[in-house]
Amino acid sequence: MSKLKETLLEKIEGWRPRTTRLLKEYGDVKVSDVTITQAIGGARGVKCLVTDISYLDPFEGIRFRGHTIPETLAALPKVPGHEMPYVEGFLYLLLTGDKPTEEQTAEVIAEFKKRKKVPDYVFDVIRALPADSHPMAMFSNAILAMEKESIFAKKYKEGISKMDYWDSTYEDALNLLAKLPTIAAYIYRLKYKNGDIIPSDPNLDFGGDFAHMMGIDKPYDDVSRLYFILHSDHESGNVSAHTGHLVASALSDVYYAISAMLGGLAGPLHGLANEMVLRWIQGVMDKMGGKTPDEEEMKKFVWDTLNSGQVIPGYGHAVLRKTDPRYAAQREFCLKHLPDDPIFKYVDILYKVTPDILKEHGKAKNPWPNVDAQSGVIQWFYGLTEYDFYTVLFGIGRSLGILSNIIWDRALGYPIERPKSLTTAMLEEAAGIK
Ligand code: HAX
């Protein structure tokens, strides 16, 4: 058994009594009430999910296993000669809650290297799809095609104890994660680079090999590491995380769960917003004939979008009530590496004018930018200008968090998810309306 798995088993055995005790002795304690607004309004703010992998405070932003983004980036072992930490070490932190040593990180890197070969039939499936399929549809199909590899599904058919569900789920999760960079880069090169595929380099880490297979030079390896870490987890209620959890709660294996969560991530109100931001900015650039707008000109573009009944992509959030620290981390990266980039200048002017406009507009509860407002500009700067692909990058990162959660869901025996519905007439009755 790998050291990571041994440590995880120890943590799981230590954690199980806490969940059991809460259920047995305190199961009736109330943690949330539900109003009609929440029942109709997408369960916003209803506290009915449990995760220890990350927590999202509306004003502070995300903490991964208790650590803010700057703390996380500072605490993890770095790739020698690079600014950013190994994604593999970050996965160790998500899974165990412990900051990994160099040695523990190296072990996860070795685990991924063992597991990263993608079966040939996956590439056949991708190539069989229409060439103009969205890359997210290709990514989701490719993952679903691998369902037959699931060790959990096989063991479940053979008959295993509930206490052991997490073990084969862990194997599935690592097998799948290790393959995601190769599958994603294959889609990119097939779709946008005439099928000129760059094979994986067995010596490189997760982020390094991804950049290599994409065919993009340094520091794109560090950009990828940062991107995957920032997009990994945002507690459990967002559409992608919730979908992954929901599907897996039926004991569907992780191939089904990750393929499904990508469908949710592909929506323009969620992960597709990074593509929409670049689309929106390109539209403004075309209208400006390439010139950078001043603040007054930019205000007009923002108002035009709002007045035509559309949202400003990259702004607003269901939970956050301040600038997303994932936006701030990427802005810091931009200020250091691409301060004079024309698209960054657009993003910066947008940041200056949009919050006040959204406040005046009076609808959005959070007028501040989210992660997606800043992520595309970095990709574009390093040559990834095919913005249809941006959400695939998000999907790789988000898989780290969702798979960590699914392993723990299984370890703690969380049941199949099944909230209760009401009819409109029942709501009217509850409201005292005749
Ligand atoms: N521009 C214009 N209007 C906005 C807005 C924005 N950026 N954000 C919210 N609103 C509007 C909503 O559409 C809603 O209008 P109606 O009352 O007419 O339905 C109203 O303000 C209240 O919405 P809210 O309660 O503030 O926000 P929600 O929790 O319902 O939705 C969203 C949160 C992120 C979906 C929303 O802010 C939005 O559509 N933003 C733009 C798209 C975007 O950036 N999505 C990515 C979010 C981060 C993420 O998940 N990344 O993956």
Give pTM, 2 decimals: 0.96
Does residue 361 form part of some domain? Answer: no
Residue 434 has pLDDT above 90, yes or no: no
Active site residue 234: no
Does residue 23 form part of some domain? Answer: no
Query: Ligand 1, from 230, 307, 317: best to mutate by most atoms within 8 Å of Cβ?
Result: 317
Does residue 404 form part of some domain? Answer: yes
| Tokens, residue 226 | 């940062």
The closest of 142, 146, 143 to 123, measured between CA atoms, is 142
Structurally, the chain folds into a number of domains equal to: 1
Q: What is the pLDDT of residues 187-208, one digit of tens each?
A: 999 999 999 999 999 999 999 9
Using the mean position of ligand 1's atoms as its centre, give its distance from the Cα of residue 324 in Å. 14
* CA–CA separation, 379 and 224 (whole Å): 9
* CA–CA separation, 135 and 216 (whole Å): 18
Looking at residue 290, its pLDDT comes to 78
Using the mean position of ligand 1's atoms as its centre, give its distance from the Cα of residue 82 in Å. 36
Does residue 283 form part of some domain? Answer: no
Using the mean position of ligand 1's atoms as its centre, give its distance from the Cα of residue 278 in Å. 17
How close are the terminal C-alpha atoms of the chain, in Å?
64
The catalytic residue among 67, 234, 245, 270 is: 270
> H helices within 35-164, ranges in order?
36-40, 69-75, 87-96, 102-115, 120-128, 135-145, 151-158
Q: What is the pLDDT of residues 263-321, one digit of tens each?
A: 999 999 999 999 999 999 999 999 999 789 999 999 999 999 999 999 999 999 999 99
Using the mean position of ligand 1's atoms as its centre, give its distance from the Cα of residue 317 in Å. 6
Does residue 88 form part of some domain? Answer: no
Query: Ligand 1, from 315, 330, 351: best to mutate by most atoms within 8 Å of Cβ?
Result: 315
Q: What is the pLDDT of residues 22-69, one digit of tens each?
A: 999 999 999 999 999 999 999 999 999 999 999 999 999 999 999 999
Q: What is the CATH number of the domain that holds 146?
A: 1.10.580.10
Q: What is the pLDDT of residues 349-400, one digit of tens each?
A: 999 999 999 999 999 999 999 999 999 999 999 999 999 999 999 999 999 9
Q: Are 175 and 403 in contact (CB under 8 A)?
A: no
* CA–CA separation, 423 and 429 (whole Å): 10
Task: Provide CB contacts within 8 A for 419, sequence distance 6+.
Answer: 43, 48
Active site residue 317: yes
* CA–CA separation, 338 and 149 (whole Å): 42
The catalytic residue among 205, 209, 324, 372 is: 372
Active site residue 372: yes
433 three-state secondary structure:
coil
Q: What is the pLDDT of residues 216-230, one digit of tens each?
A: 999 999 999 999 999
Provide the domain limits for residue 127.
Answer: 102-271+388-411
The catalytic residue among 317, 324, 356, 388 is: 317
Query: Ligand 1, from 272, 363, 391, 394: best to mutate by most atoms within 8 Å of Cβ?
Result: 363
Does residue 245 form part of some domain? Answer: yes
85 three-state secondary structure:
strand
Does residue 135 form part of some domain? Answer: yes
Q: What percent of the chain has pLDDT over 90?
A: 98
Does residue 365 form part of some domain? Answer: no
Residue nearest to atom 41 of ligand 1 (CA): 313
